[in-house]
Every structure is written in structure tokens, then in C-alpha cells.
Amino acid sequence: MQTFATEAVDWPDTATLLRDQVRDLVAQHGERDPVRRANSWTKPNPAFSRKLGDAGLLGMTWPKEYGGHERSQLERYVVIEELLAAGAPVGAHWIADRQSGPLLLRLGNDRLKRRWVPAIARGEAFACIGLSEPGSGSDLASVRTSARRDDDEWIINGQKVWTTGAHISHFMIALVRSEAGSERQAGLSQFVIPMDAPGVTVKPIIDLRGAHEFNEVFFDDVRLPADALLGVEGEGWKQATAELSLERSGPERYLSSMVLFLELVRYAGTRTDPALQPLVGRLAAEAWTLRLMSASVAAKLARGEDPALEATIVKDLGNSYEQAIPQLVQAAVDFGDADAEVLRAVCFYLLQVSPSFSLRGGTREIIRGIIARGLGLR
């Protein structure tokens, strides 16, 4: 049976300089509103993304040939940890830098790589992921969006839903059914679809707070060149699940509510309430443990290992942690206290959005099934 073994992380010598660099950028160009700093990796700010690109803090591990900087996975981890802890508005470039760029570098042909990857590293190209479809929930194998070959083109028809950031994205990596009559995981392929291609329509999904993060995307006879195919035809399921491992492995899986925890620390420091200090201690200890686990995943990636199981465990435990914080704060704090105004605003925002934390990147039921199989429990 495989188990999760954490390890001491050998942080790079550049870590302190990178942390200072990020903190300076956030101080100059970051978000001031505490509510917007919570769950910040869903908050887009294209101008801030371009600042990070100018500073060499996007595409950090990628080859210089494609606009990257050939730095280590742990250096990248330091940067994203600092950005998330500060609540920086990184949502515009997040998906592209985290998973779309690496996927293009691994599986894309030269045209796709040269068109998109350097622009991602500059903070000028943003991506969305076309997975979920109406009526399919987390059952990605029920994909019905189709790709039909027509001489040297592909014709895409169908619909994607809950597509984060489609309204600001320049391209989508979509999982579609490329073999007519195929079922489940067979006959699926991935395509790189420019969002300004004729036949692509994006419609907003407005959430209960009035915010616009998700979208429906419709494809009506969208014509793509043959080399818009990403990777190998028919291997889309394997490629997409490998991509999800990248999505699950980062500190964003436990830091979404960190701004609320920091506000709690500030508030507790001005109070003598005996219930607050133990709560701060408990949340700090859990955060430190999750950080060690998450950094261990980054260390494995740096060695070229595949920590898919460990990343999935971090996602499950991290989601539980970041969902619990607003509930625990609500139970412990008297929000009638005038000094708790900021704490109350951040907490109420996270109470509304935190149920979605365990949906993105795979529902809790799906994730725990993956963990059980990985641990040899079923």
C-alpha cells in the first residue's frame, strides 16, 4: 500500500529574493479590498498578470526558447505561495500558467507552442479548460461535444459549461469526441480552440453574488486546422486526466481562505476572548501541515516524479481546511462588534463561495475514489 510521506524541502537559495520581489509587486500593484483578496486565484486582473510577465514570474520553469525562464519547480512554488498568501489578483493567467502552458509544451506541435506559450509567459494570453458539459456533472467521460474531420480541417459542434474565465480567455483546450459512435473514455481528443474563432459563443453564468467567473461556451460549426489537435487523436482522456494532476497539486488548494485566517489573527490580537487563541493555533497548525504536504508535492515534481496521488490527497485535505475556516470563524466571532467589520465581510463572502472549493478540479467523491484506488483500498 502506498502512503503519503512528507519530506524536508530544500528551498532554493533564491527563495528570499523571490519572496521580496513578489511582495514588492503586490504592494505596488496588488488588490487592496480584503474581500477581493480572498479566493484570489479566481480574480482576474490582466494588467497585474502583465506585470508578473514583465518580471519573469510567469512560465518560470519553461524553456527559454518558448519565452520561459528555466527556473526550478520550487522557485515557482515560492512565487505562487507568496501571491496566494497576499491575495494577489492572479486569475487572468492562472490556468494558462499552471496547466495549459505545460500541456502545450509537452504535447503541442511547434505552431501551437510558438503561437501561445511565449504570450502566456508575457502575461498576454489567457486560457480556459473545456471539460464539463450540461447534464454530465463530474462524469467527464460522457462528453458529447464532437469533432468531425473534413479534409484538412476539424469541425467542432457542442457546448461546454462552468468554464472558468472563458470570457477573458484567448484560447480553450477542449476535450471532445473525435470518433463518431465511441463511448465513455474511448474516442476522445483535445483541441486548442481560439476563443475568437467564428462559431464560438460565450454566455455568462452569474453566481448568487452577482459575480461573473463561469460561462457557457457554444461551438457551432467551428472550423479548426488539422494541427489544432493537441497530442494524439483518441488519447484525450489520458491527456486530460494528466492535466488535472497539474490542477490539483498547488497551494491554491488550501490557501483560498487564507486572507480570512490572517484577518482573524489581526482581530484576535486585539481581544481577550479565550475561544479565539485556540482557534488561531488550530488553523495555523493545520495550515503548516498542509504547506509541508503541498511543498513535498512540488519537490517531487522538481525531481521529475509523478506525485498524482499525493496531489490528490492535498486537494482533498486542503479543500476541507479552506471550507472549514469561514464556518469556524462565524461560530467563534461576535460580528456585532464594530471592530469585526472587515472580518465579517470576508467571512460572509467565503461562506457563499466556499462550497464550490471541493467541486473545482474534481468533486470530493471523485477525488476520494482516486485516493482509494491509489492507496490500494479498492
For the chain, how far is it from start to end, CA to CA, in angstroms? 11
Task: Please state, in angstroms and rounded to a whole number, the distance separating the CA atoms of residues 175 and 177.
Answer: 7
Task: Please state, in angstroms and rounded to a whole number, the distance separating the CA atoms of residues 281 and 306.
Answer: 33
Q: Are 265 and 332 in contact (CB under 8 A)?
A: no
- For 261, residues 6+ apart whose C-beta sits below 8 A from its C-beta are 283, 284, 287, 325
| Pick from 356, 252, 261: nearest CA to 297 | 252
Residue 146 DSSP SS3: strand
Which grid coordinates belong to 332? 467563534
Task: Please state, in angstroms and rounded to a whole number, the distance separating the CA atoms of residues 104 and 71.
Answer: 18
Catalytic residue among 75, 247, 252, 322: 247
Question: Which residue type is seen at 212?
Answer: H
Q: Are 315 and 362 in contact (CB under 8 A)?
A: yes
- For 255, residues 6+ apart whose C-beta sits below 8 A from its C-beta are 81, 84, 85, 322
Active site residue 247: yes
Q: Which residues are catalytic?
A: 247
